[in-house]
Structure 1
């Protein structure tokens, strides 16, 4: 009887500890994971396809609320906030194989777009010829890396409403919309905000 009583007492203590300590900890972990899925996250840049803005190994803060409030652990937007704008750096899954990618929005629905020799023409407006490695995309002035050429040409084509053309800044070394096609606006996980850690330089805040 004493053994049974001792066992029952231990079980009560364990259950009490689980209710007091383990359960709140588990809830906290779930809430933090959900927040990371829906509010903010980070991305580790694996390649040089976005050079010079992003370097291999960069760690980037991603605003998961920029384009919509997403149901945790899903790709379903509960509330749509805004569509991506030209020039923004976005994170999404490749339509080709599902790999998580980071690229720049080059053109959005309704725009006429063409890529020739790595240079972007939107609505017939060419980039300044006197600045061969700079483009104006939306409100942003973008530095390009054309050291490996311009990569594949594209278009001309008109981007349908609800879709987006994404390109890498390192045009000759980027697997982007010229290869896998346009991306639906609801496919973007979030907007890359800034580089918070760069290999060899440490922590900082380099806005994109």
Structure 2
């Protein structure tokens, strides 16, 4: 093989390794997500782009769901990325209850462990959506809800989600249609 062909093959190989490394990092370390709807208004609006920390809830082997390290547990208030359990649609929602919490939604009011939550900043204008009968969240699972409760397909419809199924934690908005590049922590 001549020198020119070897050089081209070496460049192709090196470029392929770099691309594989980038894809592996995106699969396991960090990613981005484009908010598809208004279900998280006012915190997130349709078209927002968010930075997702995929290490927050554990480190995965690239291109798999196999965890090699389990990170922190999800906490109330975390904004997370998850596949909807029924149809697999990728969603962004807020953790409102964690394992061991006793949760209820009645007349649009969320109560955790018997304490009504102050959600005056949420978008509840279009109604509160489905009710949640008093229930205990199983250990290792979370209840997810959108901030725009009347316009959100969330845990009130599809139930609890296992923490190990969370793809990552939305850490910040890095692009907002009205403002362009920005960095707004979540």
Q: One fold, TM greater than 0.5?
A: yes
1:163 aligns with 2:153: no
Give the TM-score normalised by structure 1: 0.86
1:191 aligns with 2:182: no
| Aligned counterpart, 1:114 | 104
Number of residue equivalences: 186
Q: For 1:57-136, what aligned pairs fall within 5 Å after superposition?
A: 57-128=47-118, 133-134=119-120
Moved over 6 A (4+): none
RMSD after superposition: 1.2
| Aligned counterpart, 1:202 | 180
Structure 1 Cα separation of the partners of residues 36 and 117 of structure 2 = 28
| Aligned counterpart, 2:157 | 179
Q: Could you list the runs of 5+ residues in structure 2 that have no partner in the other structure?
A: none
Structure 1 Cα separation of the partners of residues 63 and 27 of structure 2 = 6
- The structural deviation recorded for 1:116 is 1.6
| Aligned counterpart, 1:145 | 123
Q: Are the counterparts in 2 of residues 52 and 170 from structure 1 also a CA contact under 8 Å?
A: yes
1:147 aligns to what SS in structure 2?
Answer: coil
Structure 2 Cα separation of the partners of residues 181 and 113 of structure 1 = 12
- The structural deviation recorded for 1:75 is 1.6
- The structural deviation recorded for 1:147 is 1.4
1:34 aligns to what SS in structure 2?
Answer: helix
Could you list the per-position Cα deviations for residues 172-202 of structure 1 after superposition, in whole angstroms to 9, with x for gaps in the alignment? 0000000001000100010000111111211
- Structure with greater Cα Rg: 1
- The structural deviation recorded for 1:118 is 2.5
- The structural deviation recorded for 1:15 is 3.4
State which of 2, 5, 15 in structure 1 corresponds to 2:6: 15
Could you list the per-position Cα deviations for residues 135-193 of structure 1 after superposition, in whole angstroms to 9, with x for gaps in the alignment? xxxxxxxx210111100000200001011100000000000000001000100010000
| Aligned counterpart, 1:5 | none
Structure 2 Cα separation of the partners of residues 148 and 196 of structure 1 = 28
Q: Are the counterparts in 2 of residues 117 and 149 from structure 1 also a CA contact under 8 Å?
A: no
1:43 aligns with 2:21: no
- The structural deviation recorded for 1:203 is 0.9
2:105 aligns to what SS in structure 1?
Answer: strand
